[in-house]
Amino acid sequence: MANQPAGIPDLIPHYIDGERVPSVDGDTFGVLNPVTNEDYTVAASGKQADIDLAVAAATRAFHEGPWPRMKNRERARILSRIADIVESRDQELAQLESWDSGLPITQAKGQAQRAAENFRFFADLIVAGRDDTYKVPGSQVNYVNRKPKGVAGLITPWNTPFMLESWKLGPALASGCTVVLKPAEFTPLSASLWAGIFEEAELPAGVFNLVNGFGETAGDALVKHPDVPLISFTGESSTGKLIFGNAAPHLKALSMELGGKSPAVVFADADLDAAIDSTLFGVFSLNGERCTAGSRILVERSIYEEFLERYAERAKRIVVGDPHDPTTEVGALVHPEHFDKVMSYVEIGKQEGRLLAGGGRPEGLPEGNYVAPTVFADVAPDARIFQEEIFGPVVSITPFDSDEEALELANNTRYGLAAYIWTNNLKRAHLFSQNVEAGMVWLNSHNVRDLRSPFGGVKASGLGHEGGYRSLDFYSDQQAVHITLGDVHTARFGASA
C-alpha cells in the first residue's frame, strides 16, 4: 500500500513474560488503514486464556521479581532510559501512528516527545518523592509506608494511542506495579513498539505485558480478573459505566478518564484573533478525536456574527487530506465505524443548527474516512449535537447574552472534562472558572498540559484525578505504621475480678 511504513509485521502479537506470542487459540483480527479501509495486517485476538497468562506473568514479576523492591533511584534510571529510547524513535512512531490512526503526520510527530516526558516526569517524581511522618509528642511516631498495589490493568483508547498508553505506563511502573496493557483494537500498531523499547531499557521480563483484542473479550477478562486489584481506564463514558459495574464485585480501585463535550466560552472583551486560532485548533486538531476538544463554542452576542463569519471562513480553508502529507491539517478518521457515527451527527446537525462550513465528505476525497471540518451555528442547548460527544471535526456554536447565561449553557451537559474561557476581565475569568463544572479549565488558551496538575473530569467525564503525585497515589497503597513510644494506656479487660 502507498506510504506504508517499513517493518510492519504480518502479525501484531501479544507480549507476555518477555515473549512475543500469538493467542492461545490462534485467533486474530484485521487491522485497517483508515485511508484505504483495507486491512494491512492482523493482530492477535486475546481472550480470557491470554489475559490469564499475562496476569500470571505480571503477578510472578510482582511477587518474585526485583521491580517492586528496587530503590526508587534504580527504577528511575530505567524509566529515564525508556524516555530516551522513546524520544529517539519519534520519526518511526509518527509514521506508524499516522498510518494506523489517520492522524496527520505533523501532529503525530511530537507524540513520542510527549510520551517520553511522561516517563521522565515520573522518574523525577519518585526520586524527589517523600512520604509523611506524624509525631504525637511523647506517645507516637507514625509514618506512611508507600507500596505498589500489584498488577495494574491498563485499558486505553485509539486516539493518540501511544501517548495515552504512556500516561498510564509511566506512573504505574514508577510506583513499582507490574502491568497488563490492553490497547484499543482499532490501533494496536504503535503499542507493539513498547516491547522492544522496554527490552532495550532492561525492564525486567514480566513487568510489562500486553494483550491485544476486543474490549468485550480481552478488556472484560482483565477487568474481571481477581488478581488485578486496579484498573486505569480511558475511553467512552458508557464503557466506563460498564467497567465500573463489572469491577464492583471485586472492589477494584478504578481510575476513569472518560468522554467530554467541553465548552469554549468567548466573551466580547477577549482577544478575538487568539480566541479564533485557539478554538479552531481546540476542536479540529487530532482530527477532532480528542477528549478535551472544545466542541461547544459559546460566544457573547455582541461579537457573535463577526465570530461566526471569521470562524467559518477559516474552517472552510482547513486542509483535509492524506495523513501522510505534511500540509494536511485534518486527516482520516480512525475507522469506518467511527466515520459513520460522526457522519450521522453531521446529518443530525443539519436539522438542529445552521450549517456554516463542511457538512459531509470534503471534495476530491471519495474514499477513506474523511470528514470536512463542520461548523453549526445557532445550536440550542437541547440539541443532540450540543449534548453528545461526537469525537470528530464537528463544532456547535451558540450565542449568549450574560455571564449567567454563559455559565448555565457551559454546565448544561452531563459531561465535565475541560472548559476554555476567553476574556480579559480578571474577576470574570476567575469567577467563571471556579463555577464551571469541569475538571480542568484553561483561561485564554486551548489544552496545554502541565504534568504536575490534576488531570481528569467531573460528572460523566471521569472518576478520580490523575496527574503528578495523584497518579502515584492511585498505583500505591499508603499504609499507616504507628510506632508507640513509651507506655500505652490500655483498659485492662478481664483484670477487675
Measured distance CA(123)–CA(173) in Å, rounded: 9
Q: Which stretch binds ligand NAD (CB under 6 A): 33-41, 234-242, 299-307, 373-381?
A: 234-242
Tell me which residue has cell 483484670.
495
Measured distance CA(250)–CA(60) in Å, rounded: 20
- Residue nearer to ligand NAD on the CB measure, 72 or 262: 262
Measured distance CA(211)–CA(44) in Å, rounded: 8
Binding mask 158-187 for ligand NAD (x = CB under 6 A): xx----x-----------------x-xx--
| Minimum gap (Å) between residue 293 Cβ and ligand NAD | 8
| Minimum gap (Å) between residue 417 Cβ and ligand NAD | 6
| Minimum gap (Å) between residue 182 Cβ and ligand NAD | 6
286: phi > 0 → left, psi -120 to 50 → alpha, else beta; which? left
Render 259-300 in DSSP notation, one character per residue: ----EEEE-TTS-HHHHHHHHHHHHHGGGG--TT---EEEEE
- Residue nearer to ligand NAD on the CB measure, 72 or 396: 396
| Minimum gap (Å) between residue 486 Cβ and ligand NAD | 50
Which parts of 139-158 interact with ligand NAD (CB under 6 A)?
A: 155-158
Which parts of 459-488 interact with ligand NAD (CB under 6 A)?
A: 462
Residue nearest to ligand NAD (CB): 215
Specify whether 257 is catalytic: yes
Cβ pair 86, 197 in contact under 8 A:
yes
| Minimum gap (Å) between residue 290 Cβ and ligand NAD | 7
Given candidates 107, 239, 398, 476, which one binds ligand NAD under the rule CB under 6 A? 239
Cell numbers standing for residue 260: 467530554
Binding mask 8-47 for ligand NAD (x = CB under 6 A): ----------------------------------------
Cell numbers standing for residue 481: 505504621
Cβ pair 451, 117 in contact under 8 A:
yes
Given candidates 38, 39, 74, 216, which one binds ligand NAD under the rule CB under 6 A? 216
Q: How big is the site for ligand NAD, counted in residues (CB under 6 A)?
A: 31
Which parts of 242-281 interact with ligand NAD (CB under 6 A)?
A: 242-243, 257-260
- Residue nearer to ligand NAD on the CB measure, 92 or 388: 388
| Catalytic hit among 185, 257, 389, 466 | 257
Cβ pair 192, 215 in contact under 8 A:
no
Measured distance CA(333)–CA(325) in Å, rounded: 15
Which parts of 280-299 interact with ligand NAD (CB under 6 A)?
A: 291
The DSSP H or E segment spanning 179 is: strand 178-182
Phi and psi at residue 394, to the nearest 5°: -135, 130
DSSP code at position 203: P
Measured distance CA(102)–CA(33) in Å, rounded: 8
DSSP code at position 204: P
List, by residue number, the catalytic residues.
Answer: 257
Residues that bind ligand NAD (CB under 6 A): 155-159, 164, 182, 184-185, 214-216, 219-220, 223, 234-236, 239, 242-243, 257-260, 291, 389, 391, 417, 457, 462
